[in-house]
């Protein structure tokens, strides 16, 4: 019997467990992917900590996957065994399938499922993916370097390009972690005056190297006032994992500006007066679909945007996950498969 190896969470708040499972057969519209690399995203804590009610365990996390197609099920025209593909977090609520159109559910698990959350992901030698979740990978992109583009990349690229900001506008990237360090590169290359905002000054030099034109230490004073001193932000791309930090920066929006909420934090409270006086807005942003991932990959190839990665072996998945949670990684942790 053919087998695969995986690192799974047996239950919430338990360590990852190395297991051998029988190799699954791809069903209709599914591909079996041999995983080459998988990024470790802060959102893997959704599975690790059981942050969404009703999750099923054991569950293999990982939604920044690059690999090659090992086998295809029925109705998979357009894809071939051997194709190099990426699989992202989506489609949580893809918005396209009948289930999503009806329920606007967090995850349309009857059809696609959120990779690594409601269906098994890429901390594994192999994984099954719905073909609607597959993105083609440009030949010049290295699999390990490209893996974080499948979530951290597409989420920030997509949020920035849908924020309403226009070339030359001031865009603040709030948080300089896995998502934020890619967001800085995208914003700068998309033609925005790019301001990085983070706690302390540890990451300032790297943020500037990545393309930030300005840097705000959010602990040195009021970050909203600091943004206003620069003219106010047409977009704030909020990738921090802390609600208080997010709330503290809303006042930095310019007239007509939009705050794009990406970090999955607890509640924040915002005064309607604060927003209406400026025609400003706050909007949640959820990753993207395969076409968005392909746009992200092509843009990254064109502009030499890449993730700065700390690479761990598959067997070191627990250490890799812990390193991500510590916040000390510069900037993305990636698992390299054997």
Ligand X SMILES: NC(=O)c1ccc[n+]([C@@H]2O[C@H](COP(=O)([O-])OP(=O)(O)OC[C@H]3O[C@@H](n4cnc5c(N)ncnc54)[C@H](OP(=O)(O)O)[C@@H]3O)[C@@H](O)[C@H]2O)c1
Which residues here bind ligand X, judged by CB under 6 A? 41-43, 151-152, 155, 175-180, 198-199, 203, 239-242, 245, 262-264, 285-287, 327
Per-residue exposure over 214-247, b if at least 16 CB sit within 10 Å of its own CB, e if not: bbbbbeeeebbebbeebebbbbbbbbbbeeebbb
Per CB under 5 A, does 324 bind Zn ion? no
Residue 151 Cβ vs Zn ion, minimum distance, rounded to whole Å: 3
Q: Are 215 and 240 in contact (CB under 8 A)?
A: no
Per CB under 5 A, does 160 bind Zn ion? no
Question: How far lies 208's CA from each of 192, 196, 197, 212, in Å?
Answer: 14, 8, 11, 4
What number of other Cβ atoms are within 10 A of residue 82's Cβ? 9
242 touches, from ligand X, Zn ion, none (C-beta below 5 to 8 Å by class): ligand X
Among 43, 125, 218, 300, binds Zn ion (CB under 5 A): 43
Helix (H) and strand (E) counts in the chain: 11, 15
Residue 196 Cβ vs ligand X, minimum distance, rounded to whole Å: 9
Residue 1 Cβ vs ligand X, minimum distance, rounded to whole Å: 36
Single out the residue of 31, 32, 290 nearest to residue 136, CA to CA: 290
Residue 41 Cβ vs Zn ion, minimum distance, rounded to whole Å: 3
Single out the residue of 88, 60, 111 nearest to residue 296, CA to CA: 88
Per CB under 5 A, does 154 bind Zn ion? no
Residue 12 Cβ vs Zn ion, minimum distance, rounded to whole Å: 18
SS3 call for 35: strand
Q: What is the Cα–Cα distance from 239 to 157, expressed in whole angstroms?
A: 12
Q: Looking at beta carbons only, is 72 or 226 nearer to ligand X?
A: 226
174 touches, from Zn ion, ligand X, none (C-beta below 5 to 8 Å by class): none
Q: Looking at beta carbons only, is 26 or 48 nearer to ligand X?
A: 48
In the complex, which residues of this chain contact Zn ion (CB under 5 A)?
41, 43, 89, 151
């Amino acid at each position: 019997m053919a087998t695969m190896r995986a690192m799974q969470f047996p239950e919430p708040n338990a360590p990852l467990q190395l297991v051998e499972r029988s190799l699954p057969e791809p069903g209709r519209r599914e591909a079996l992917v041999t995983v080459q690399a998988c990024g470790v995203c802060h959102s893997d804590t959704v599975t690790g900590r059981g942050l969404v009610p009703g999750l099923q365990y054991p569950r293999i996390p990982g939604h920044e996957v690059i690999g090659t197609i090992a086998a295809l099920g029925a109705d998979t025209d357009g894809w071939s065994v051997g194709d190099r593909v990426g699989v992202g977090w989506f489609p949580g609520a893809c918005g396209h399938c009948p289930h999503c159109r009806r329920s606007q559910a967090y995850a349309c698990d009857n059809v696609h499922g959120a990779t690594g959350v409601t269906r098994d992901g890429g901390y594994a030698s192999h994984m099954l993916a719905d073909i609607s979740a597959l993105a083609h990978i440009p030949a010049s992109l290295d699999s390990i370097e490209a893996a974080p583009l499948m979530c951290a990349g597409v989420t920030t690229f997509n949020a920035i390009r849908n924020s309403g900001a226009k070339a030359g506008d001031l865009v603040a990237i709030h948080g300089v972690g896995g998502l934020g360090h890619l967001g800085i590169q995208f914003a700068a290359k998309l033609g925005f005056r790019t301001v990085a905002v983070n706690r302390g000054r540890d990451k300032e030099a790297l943020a500037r190297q990545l393309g930030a034109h300005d840097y705000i230490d959010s602990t040195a004073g009021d970050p909203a006032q600091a943004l206003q001193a620069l003219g106010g932000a047409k977009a704030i791309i909020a990738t921090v994992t802390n609600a208080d930090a997010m709330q503290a920066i809303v006042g930095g929006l310019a007239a007509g500006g939009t705050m794009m909420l990406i970090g999955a934090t607890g509640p924040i409270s915002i005064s309607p007066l604060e927003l209406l006086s400026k025609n400003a807005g706050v909007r949640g942003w959820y990753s993207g679909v395969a076409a968005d991932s392909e746009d992200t990959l092509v843009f990254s190839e064109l502009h030499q945007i890449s993730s700065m990665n700390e690479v761990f072996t598959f067997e070191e998945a627990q250490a890799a996950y812990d390193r991500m949670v510590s916040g000390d990684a510069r900037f993305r942790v990636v698992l390299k498969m054997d």
